[in-house]
Chain A
């Protein structure tokens, strides 16, 4: 049995004044109601033996006073926080590593694991001797030193109290390195070097890892550090998690998006529940699932008529970790493309690229074939910043690092693949069009006159798009990571009437979307909480605003960088990248998607380097049995008894 002083000296002084005050109140004369009676003769005789003049005798008989003093005594004892705990010493140096990763938000203990870990740490701190020092480090995938070595228990407790839960994953490596570095400040590897002064001797320290053990074994040499693993959490915790959630456009059906999710039951008991899918906050689909113990299942949803939007998949299930029951995905809006048109001058082509629809998708730069051979232009072609090169009646000496569309010409043989053009012939009659291909959707070839053109043999893997009576007029073929499309006729009024037809601008728009990649076939990128999100963006947006799921937007100055690296991704949800005129350019999502974190069963042991640290057995835990609640309960009961007695007037 020991006590914890909860009050300062002046608070104790105040408390000490109260009991004498209560006794003094009893000495004060009670204000009584005067009542006239015929004679006090009998009353005087009645109270003769009760009426005692000595104040001490008066107090002796006053049950209410004694009850009140008993209440006060119970409260004072409660303030002393009597309790029973282990008496073993902690050691002179202690380092408390407190896990505040996402798995520590599991709530099977009634409170979160983090709260339990904090409570246990505070109990350990209270056990410290006056000469002991300790350090507090909170860790998730990075380490955060909350308090360096100090013997001030208040500072240590405040540091522990200040630790808040994060959505991040866990990695003990950095925390252990930090602990080792801070614990042994003078340790260097150059002991033989006489100039390398050893600042301090390496002092052994105890490391207390308060965690559920949901992390990979860190490869760290602990040196003089002696680790103790205090597992937090119960082994009967249940959890169902979304471990993957993506969406993809159906290439064959424009506007249709397919969403796929993988859910896993990490507990041994079977669990059933319901998954609901929301689009921009509106419920659009739901599915029931039934998972056996430790089973993985896939869910898929089809969404039609979706240009862009935010998808939220939520599992309605009773488990102990809510964080991984929600996942986000986003369908990006069409991307702003960088397109280079290489031409001697082609009015129909330029007009088609300047339609409002095309201008919304792409910004077009025009070069002549000569300009394209300049050094700057070649660098640009090799940089990968351009999404699409359109070669009108010409071909480059070296194929650019981008998708290409050749009109009336073919890629160079050396670098452009095995395209084999024939000699120009004419007139040509279109006999077959591959309308299922995205390039030719909604494009009509009926009634088109072609005076002259070339037929082409496609390289391996090429797809035939348009066939005329003399051979393939248009085709598309892959080149490394890129695609090259070839149209075997010049777009001049003297050669064809196609540019005057409605199908031509549609074809160019298709080319921009398909070859330029304006429409991303996959959903927006997803990163884990705390990980940097990298987005590619057209350089014409000097500044963009990033809207997190909650809170005010963050403005990012690009400084000419093609990539935006955003690091403030602690919050889970959909982040929107918007232009200054508030147009959504791109989106990315932050999801946990970590089997390691979702597997919340506390581990019996953790590996550090080659060593294995067993969990501290339950009976060795520093558990303090508190009595103050019982004392307060007693005070309450006595108060009720006193009230009853007062009302019943059982005694004088």
Chain B
């Protein structure tokens, strides 16, 4: 069990410097709540042209396209795209199973969430972090670089203690948060009742969903030998195995099929699936891996 890391461990200065230059990318365009830096579906007052429409009395004469009136002798109004803020939600799985690995999967999730949240905050997005547990803990809406320490404090306060079902925690989140935007869920998907129903709830919100599947090296390449009684840390379920090379091969096949299934499930529902190793480091994952996958620009 690894203690929650110090803030400098979570976001080292060199990582922060990299993150400042990045931007979260959403494949969908959502309506925001406040003026921001992102294009909105709303037509507004940005410099980016969107469309023309016929003039109706009462319209602001400043947006009349006088050049067009001169040629066609008709009044048309120029419409511009509105730039608004973006909702970015980070759902961090805080189940006891995340507290494994070296470093723990939970630490990797914390670091990734903190990094991506910081990127969002820097771009003026509305960032909200939710620790999925028995009772979800939500951070306040974070916006702007100034709230960095508030964000890291919240993330570090999370503890992987309570066993829960993913679907219940996601349902809680959906009920409380109505805004649309990006959801980044950081989890190991190790839920015996299945992760699919939880994901379907998120899909129903029509949000841009990124599933970051975090697995530890101990799960990817287990170094077990002999006759063992495997005890599940969440529900104390016991499984007796005699580890042999054949069994290990079977495990690898099962794991590959599990990952493949998750990837297929996500792609079929327009979710982006990202497999992360807990020992990979946030800078590597964000700097190379997420950039390639399009979450970060």
Could you say which residues of chain A place their CB within 8 Å of the CB of B100?
A: 37-38
Say yes or no: A33-B97 contact (C-beta < 8 A), given A46-B254, A47-B247: no
Whether the Cβ atoms of B241 and A47 lie closer than 8 Å is yes
Query: In the complex, how many angstroms separate the beta carbon of A426 from the nearest chain B beta carbon?
Result: 124
Say yes or no: A46-B250 contact (C-beta < 8 A), given A35-B231, A37-B233, A651-B244: yes
B37 an interface residue at 8 Å Cβ cutoff? no
Whether the Cβ atoms of A38 and B255 lie closer than 8 Å is no
Q: Among B21-29, B124-132, B166-174, B219-227, which stretch is in contact with chain A?
A: B219-227
A60 an interface residue at 8 Å Cβ cutoff? no
Whether the Cβ atoms of A649 and B216 lie closer than 8 Å is no
- Distance A37 CA – B97 CA, assembled complex (angstroms): 8
New A-B contacts (10) at CB < 8 Å, excluding given A40-B230, A47-B250: A34-B228, A38-B101, A38-B234, A39-B97, A39-B188, A40-B237, A42-B219, A43-B230, A43-B241, A652-B242
B3 an interface residue at 8 Å Cβ cutoff? no
Whether the Cβ atoms of A42 and B229 lie closer than 8 Å is no
Could you say which residues of chain A place their CB within 8 Å of the CB of B96?
A: 38
Query: In the complex, how many angstroms separate the beta carbon of B203 from the nearest chain A beta carbon?
Result: 22
- Distance A652 CA – B191 CA, assembled complex (angstroms): 27
Say yes or no: A35-B244 contact (C-beta < 8 A), given A41-B192, A43-B239: no
B292 an interface residue at 8 Å Cβ cutoff? no
A89 an interface residue at 8 Å Cβ cutoff? no
- Per DSSP, chain B at the interface is mixed
Whether the Cβ atoms of A652 and B246 lie closer than 8 Å is yes
B243 an interface residue at 8 Å Cβ cutoff? yes
Whether the Cβ atoms of B238 and A40 lie closer than 8 Å is yes
Could you say which residues of chain A place their CB within 8 Å of the CB of B232?
A: 37-41
> Would you give the 0/1 interface string for A12-36, flagging 1 where the beta carbon is closer than 8 Å to chain B?
0000000000000000001111111
Query: In the complex, how many angstroms separate the beta carbon of A298 from the nearest chain B beta carbon?
Result: 78
Whether the Cβ atoms of B230 and A652 lie closer than 8 Å is no
Whether the Cβ atoms of A50 and B226 lie closer than 8 Å is no
- Distance A652 CA – B218 CA, assembled complex (angstroms): 22
A44 an interface residue at 8 Å Cβ cutoff? yes
Query: In the complex, how many angstroms separate the beta carbon of B61 from the nearest chain A beta carbon?
Result: 65
A650 an interface residue at 8 Å Cβ cutoff? yes
Could you say which residues of chain B place their CB within 8 Å of the CB of A650?
A: 244-246
Query: In the complex, how many angstroms separate the beta carbon of A208 from the nearest chain B beta carbon?
Result: 61
- Distance A45 CA – B101 CA, assembled complex (angstroms): 21
Could you say which residues of chain A place their CB within 8 Å of the CB of B226?
A: 33
> Would you give the 0/1 interface string for A592-628, flagging 1 where the beta carbon is closer than 8 Å to chain B?
0000000000000000000000000000000000000
B69 an interface residue at 8 Å Cβ cutoff? no
B49 an interface residue at 8 Å Cβ cutoff? no
Residue of A31, A35, A45 near B224 (CB, 8 A) is: A35
B66 an interface residue at 8 Å Cβ cutoff? no
Could you say which residues of chain B place their CB within 8 Å of the CB of A45?
A: 254, 258
- Distance A37 CA – B243 CA, assembled complex (angstroms): 14
Beta-carbon contacts under 8 Å, A529-560 to B: none
Whether the Cβ atoms of B229 and A34 lie closer than 8 Å is yes
Could you say which residues of chain A place their CB within 8 Å of the CB of B240?
A: 30, 32
B289 an interface residue at 8 Å Cβ cutoff? no
Whether the Cβ atoms of A38 and B233 lie closer than 8 Å is yes
Could you say which residues of chain B place their CB within 8 Å of the CB of A40?
A: 230-232, 237-239
* Residue from A33, A35, A37 whose CB has the most chain B CB atoms within 10 Å: A37
Q: Which residues of B contact A (CB under 8 A)?
A: 96-101, 105, 188, 190-192, 216, 218-219, 224-234, 237-247, 250-251, 253-255, 258
Could you say which residues of chain B place their CB within 8 Å of the CB of A652?
A: 242, 244, 246-247
Query: In the complex, how many angstroms separate the beta carbon of B109 from the nearest chain A beta carbon?
Result: 13
Could you say which residues of chain A place their CB within 8 Å of the CB of B239?
A: 40, 43-44, 47
Whether the Cβ atoms of A30 and B227 lie closer than 8 Å is yes
Chain A interface bracket (under 10, 10 to 19, 20 to 34, 35 or more): 20 to 34
Beta-carbon contacts under 8 Å, A45-82 to B: 45-47, 50
- Distance A31 CA – B188 CA, assembled complex (angstroms): 31
- Distance A652 CA – B248 CA, assembled complex (angstroms): 11
* Residue from A32, A39, A43 whose CB has the most chain B CB atoms within 10 Å: A39
Q: What 10 A-B pairs are tightest by C-beta distance, nearest first?
A: A39-B190, A38-B97, A32-B229, A38-B100, A649-B244, A40-B232, A40-B239, A34-B229, A46-B254, A32-B227
Return the chain A residue nearest B100 by Cβ: A38
- Distance A436 CA – B230 CA, assembled complex (angstroms): 111
Query: In the complex, how many angstroms separate the beta carbon of B251 from the nearest chain A beta carbon?
Result: 5
Residue of A37, A44, A46 near B247 (CB, 8 A) is: A46
Say yes or no: A37-B230 contact (C-beta < 8 A), given A32-B240, A47-B239, A47-B241: yes
* Residue from B105, B232, B255 whose CB has the most chain A CB atoms within 10 Å: B232
Could you say which residues of chain A place their CB within 8 Å of the CB of B243?
A: 649
Could you say which residues of chain A place their CB within 8 Å of the CB of B246?
A: 650-652
CB pairs A–B below 8 angstroms (5 shown): A37-B233, A38-B97, A42-B190, A649-B242, A652-B242
Whether the Cβ atoms of B234 and A39 lie closer than 8 Å is yes
- Distance A50 CA – B250 CA, assembled complex (angstroms): 10
Say yes or no: A36-B254 contact (C-beta < 8 A), given A649-B243, A652-B246: no
Return the chain A residue nearest B215 by Cβ: A38
Query: In the complex, how many angstroms separate the beta carbon of A82 from the nearest chain B beta carbon?
Result: 37
- Distance A47 CA – B253 CA, assembled complex (angstroms): 12
Could you say which residues of chain B place their CB within 8 Å of the CB of A649?
A: 225, 242-245
Could you say which residues of chain B place their CB within 8 Å of the CB of A34?
A: 228-231, 238
Could you say which residues of chain B place their CB within 8 Å of the CB of A42?
A: 190, 219, 251, 254-255, 258
- Distance A650 CA – B246 CA, assembled complex (angstroms): 7
- Distance A35 CA – B255 CA, assembled complex (angstroms): 19
Whether the Cβ atoms of A38 and B244 lie closer than 8 Å is no
Could you say which residues of chain B place their CB within 8 Å of the CB of A36?
A: 230-231, 233
Could you say which residues of chain B place their CB within 8 Å of the CB of A35?
A: 224, 228-231
Return the chain A residue nearest B242 by Cβ: A652
Return the chain A residue nearest B191 by Cβ: A41
Residue of B219, B229, B250, B254 near A38 (CB, 8 A) is: B219
* Residue from A36, A38, A47 whose CB has the most chain B CB atoms within 10 Å: A38
- Distance A33 CA – B242 CA, assembled complex (angstroms): 10
Beta-carbon contacts under 8 Å, A501-528 to B: none
Could you say which residues of chain B place their CB within 8 Å of the CB of A651?
A: 244, 246
- Distance A483 CA – B105 CA, assembled complex (angstroms): 125
Return the chain B residue nearest A45 by Cβ: B254
Could you say which residues of chain A place their CB within 8 Å of the CB of B254?
A: 42, 45-46
